[in-house]
Chains A and B, each alone.
Chain A
Amino acid sequence: MKSLTTLIWKGILLIAIVWVCCNILRWSMGMPFGWTNNFFHAKAELFEQAKGEYNTVFLGNSRFHRGVDPSVYDATMSRLLPEQKTKSFNYAVASAPAGEVYNLFNRLLDEQRSLQLKDIIIQLPSIKTAVGRQFQKTNLHKPRNVEWCDFSSYLFAMRSAWGLKGSKYSFRNKWKYSFNYTVALIENWFAIGMIKDMVLNKAEGLDLSKGGPNQDGYFPLALDDRKVIKSKHRAFLRNNKTAAKRANLSRRFFTKASPEEMKPHLNSSYLAYLVGMIDRAKSEGIQLTFIVPPCMNEFSYNELAAIYHALPKEHVLELTNADNYPFLYDPENMWDPGHLNTEGGRIFSEVLAYRIAEQKSNKNLLSEEKLLAYGTPKSNSKQKGKQSKADTVSKKEKKALANYLKNARAFKNKGNCLKASKFAEKALEVSPDNFKATFLTASCAQLMNKMDKATEFAELALERANTKEQRTKADAFIKSLN
């Protein structure tokens, strides 16, 4: 009779052999970090091709990916500081969670000898994105989320997630994130489900055009043909009130709230990692700067404002406060509530260059006059012409929206939440910023016990609320979820 011990030892041996085989397979595929996303893959390839040429790199998610134009940044820098020539590359990718940014940062520093970077500018990532629904449901098991989750990034993600403050991040939720991170770590160790995607990716071929028109990683939203991006833009044209709401949010967190008031929200584990990143960069001769970008939502501001006040001033900049940068909230410069358009990107890149140059030279380069020259948001009446045009185009859509909402409510009342949720989501496709559709999606998700989805859509509903009643309703709903 063979014993349980034999079984366990044989099991361990089998797992070890399988681990070696999986990693040999992964290694033999020779894919760069970033192969899991078309934009990221193109950027990795372009960066590799021009290895050593770039001395400045931008990291972050879609706000940087769509908002920082390296050609504008370099031109401005060479005008301001001709002796410190920069050649920059936009390495930011949409939906990048903090762990992915952290991993990419470490990879760049590991290769610093051959790269010779002088500046790394990081869009201060929000931990919220790494614990939200995208990580929980949509992207769980997906190669994109597995690829970055090596052991050190796993520790970073775990500690940062557990350090989150606020009733929204309950113990149960944190336990759930931890479980999902652990799944991703195991999947990373064994390359679970990844080789087939690598094979498919290789067969599909690399599309370098995703590296942007200048092949420097900047890809403005206006050039992206995807339906969802166009529909978000159309919805924003129809109703751009969210721009003013986000501007007010930025004022609330960066003008009205004092650093002391933000202290209780400070995620000290995350802060320790950010400070560690600054130290590591310093030791490699790199100036690391974190940027708080514009147009964030309430939950991100809540988290990032506290971090901003706690980081050493020479390593952090805010380009988000509407009192200082009103033009970044001008609908003329925006694509949708969270992103800048091409003109907005140009302005943002220029202002960013000014602020970095000021840090480097210890001089005040961006005068009040210059800031005023970028303009201030026009009043709603000036926008009306554009809006009414968008409205006439969408009469058909309005009818469809009303129908979808009617059906969603009818099915919800009948207790068929699955169908109700489908209709609410269809309504959201027509009008991505619609409060009623968002709230219905959230309440259906709650009834179907999909709490992550319910929370996510409840937050969106709060953001999309147009009246006091709607805001109170969404607020009460979020409290009931917690």
Chain B
Amino acid sequence: MLLAASYYFYMCWKVEYILLIILSTVVDYIASRRMATLEDNGQRKRWLYLSLFTNLGILFGFKYFNFVGDNINALFDRFNVFYDVPAFEYLLPVGISFYTFQTLSYTIDVYQRKIEPEKHFGLFALYVSFFPQLVAGPIERPSRLLPQFHKEQVFSYENVTKGLRLMLWGFFLKLVVADRLAPIVDAIYNNPEQYAGLEVALGTVFFCFQIFGDFAGYSSIAIGAAKVMGYDLMENFRRPYFAASIREFWQRWHISLSTWFRDYVYIPLGGNRVVKWRWYYNLFITFLVSGIWHGANWTFVVWGALHGFYLVFAIWMKPYFDKLDASTGMDKRPGVMHLWRVFTTFILAAFAWIFFRANSLSDAFTLIGNLFRPSASDSGLLSSINGVEPMEIILGFSAIALMEMIHFFDETKRFESPLFHTNTGIRWGTMVFLITVILTFGVFTSSEFIYFQF
């Protein structure tokens, strides 16, 4: 029944694309079963390659073919070669990057004999297409999710209420935070020539929280929906803007993807158990691939490369930073030091988000150039963005403040999380408050989740 629901969920978007999921499922099911029975490594590898070729082939065909074609065409034009790689006009299957990675992790794990292949075709198909996390993650591992499908689920009051509260938090992040900030960010990023200075900074800071609200909101709804049905999905976000380094940021942001890249790209490349230059290379390549995973556009490639550079630079400079801290006496003030690090990490992540959000590389460079120029508008920051009322910006800041206040409670652990508080009054008060805020201040005419496009 869950499988039927999952297929129906996907078909609501575009019926024929369900065939892609079915194709991946059938190929991986057969490949994994064959890999388990074969002893010869060469033959097993062939089945693995079949699975990789099928899944990555579909992903490449739908997501990257036109991007590669466009770049080849541009290159040909440069050298006056008159040949056009044809472009295909079709819609990108929603969530293709997510379910492809989920099913890839299964075949690779079976190949590496980390798990036994699933015998039940229906349960395996459900693992590939489980509807709460099908279109935008979290990208689950077979060792976590498949055993749960074998257990019989019974109604659990605790699971249902916990799941519903997680969903409530997700709706707050999406409808009150992300969708409130979206029109302001769009106004600035869709007209990069028009804005400068604080306006670009405002748009960028708002985008940091928009993308967090959007993606963490979806993850929370997905985890909550699964929890209601009795399934545990992995945590995907852990207050990333409280991170004190870029390394820590990636331990808190899109955890299911960063651990996937760690296990299936970074470690196979050699991880950190190699010579230093190779370690830097491994890190950089992992983040570069992560950038490409996010989208077929040079903006995502630069975004990934920038994060790779941040990490390599931080490792390379660590001894010098430590010396600097000791000489200035900052190492004796851990609180101030921590705050400073959180702030600089946020600035670095925000800077990288400019590439992620900009419509093209030239737009991104225009925005960065304008960031350091004073604004041309003399009407003040709140009134300077076309089509945006000052009150909308104030509401945007209020939504961020409310979200970060609740994050602060969770982060410091000085207080219990109000949504899961043991005191009934606080718990109910928070729920009533959040539902009322969502219903009355939520944006209900907005578009879909940003991460569905990846």
Contact = CB atoms under 8 A, between A and B. Distances in A.
Interface stretch (B277-285, B373-381, B384-392): B384-392
Contacts of A199: 391, 395
Contacts of B155: 4
Given A7-B160, A7-B161, A199-B395, A25 B444 contact: no
A439 B214 CA distance: 38
A298 B395 CA distance: 46
A324 interface: no
A2 B432 CA distance: 21
Interface stretch (B229-237, B305-313, B434-442): B434-442
Given A1-B157, A25-B436, A193 B89 contact: no
B157 A22 contact: no
Interface stretch (A13-21, A39-47, A384-392): A13-21
A192 B445 contact: no
Interface in B333-358: none
Interface string B129-164: 000000000000000000000000001111011000
Nearest to A18: B435
Given A141-B444, A416-B89, A6 B157 contact: yes
A191 B437 CA distance: 11
Interface string A182-197: 0000010011111110
A2 B155 CA distance: 10
Contacts of B160: 7
A96 B222 CA distance: 39
A2, A6, A204: most-surrounded residue (chain B CB, <10 A): A2
Contacts of B442: 192-193, 196
A223 interface: no
A293 to B, nearest CB: 31
Given A22-B439, A22-B440, A194-B440, A14 B89 contact: no
Interface in B410-454: 428, 431-432, 435-436, 439-445
A142 B445 contact: yes
Nearest to A1: B157
Interface residues of A, number: 30
Nearest to A414: B89
Nearest to A411: B89
B391 A3 contact: no
A193 B439 contact: yes
A203 B393 CA distance: 12
A182 B156 CA distance: 31
B436 A18 contact: yes
Interface string A128-145: 000000000000011000
Contacts of B443: 193, 196
Given A18-B435, A141-B445, A200 B392 contact: yes
Contacts of B445: 141-142, 193
A32 interface: no
A415 interface: yes
Interface residues of B, number: 25
Interface in A155-207: 187, 190-196, 199-200, 203-204
Interface in B50-91: 89
A414 B88 CA distance: 10
A99 to B, nearest CB: 20
A320 B311 CA distance: 75
A196 B157 contact: no
B157 A3 contact: yes
Contacts of A415: 89
Nearest to A11: B164
Contacts of A193: 439-445
A140 to B, nearest CB: 8
Contacts of A7: 157, 160-161
A17 to B, nearest CB: 5
Nearest to B156: A1
A192 B431 contact: no
Contact of A192 (B157, B395, B440): B440
A6 B156 CA distance: 12
Nearest to B438: A192
Contacts of B439: 18, 22, 190-193
A195 B89 contact: no
A195 B389 contact: no
Interface in A195-225: 195-196, 199-200, 203-204
A7 B180 CA distance: 32
B389 A200 contact: yes
Contacts of A21: 432, 436
Considering residues B158, B440, B445, which has the most beta carbons from chain A within 10 angstroms of its beta carbon? B440
A25 to B, nearest CB: 6
B48 to A, nearest CB: 36
B93 to A, nearest CB: 16
Contacts of B436: 18, 21-22, 25
B158 to A, nearest CB: 8
B213 to A, nearest CB: 15
A71 B443 CA distance: 41
Contacts of B395: 196, 199-200
A187 B438 CA distance: 12
A419 to B, nearest CB: 8
B440 A25 contact: yes
A193 B391 CA distance: 15
Contact of B432 (A4, A14, A187, A200): A14
B182 to A, nearest CB: 14
Contacts of B390: 203
B62 to A, nearest CB: 16
Contacts of A195: 440-441
A193 B436 CA distance: 10
Contacts of A18: 432, 435-436, 439
Interface string B117-139: 00000000000000000000000
Interface string A409-448: 0000011100000000000000000000000000000000
A17 B432 contact: yes
Contacts of B444: 141, 187, 192-193
Contacts of B432: 14, 17-18, 21
- Residue of A2, A18, A142, A416 with most chain B CB atoms under a 10 A cut-off: A18
A203 B391 contact: yes
Contacts of B441: 193, 195-196
Contacts of B156: 1
B160 to A, nearest CB: 6
A22 B438 CA distance: 10
B92 to A, nearest CB: 13
Contact of A14 (B157, B389, B392, B435): B435
A194 B444 CA distance: 10
A472 B340 CA distance: 72
A28 B395 CA distance: 18
A415 B91 CA distance: 11
A464 to B, nearest CB: 29
Contacts of B158: 2
A226 to B, nearest CB: 15
Contacts of B157: 1-4, 6-7
A127 to B, nearest CB: 24
Contacts of A22: 436, 439-440
Nearest to B158: A2
B431 to A, nearest CB: 7
Contacts of A200: 389, 391-392, 395
Given A25-B436, A199-B395, 12 more contacts: A1-B156, A14-B435, A22-B440, A141-B444, A142-B445, A190-B439, A190-B440, A193-B440, A195-B441, A200-B392, A203-B389, A415-B89
28 contacts: A3-B157, A6-B157, A7-B157, A14-B431, A14-B435, A17-B428, A18-B436, A18-B439, A21-B432, A22-B436, A22-B439, A26-B440, A141-B445, A142-B445, A191-B439, A192-B440, A193-B440, A193-B442, A195-B440, A196-B180, A196-B395, A199-B391, A200-B389, A200-B395, A203-B389, A203-B390, A204-B389, A204-B391
- 6 closest residue pairs by CB, A with B: A195-B440, A203-B391, A2-B157, A196-B441, A21-B436, A193-B444
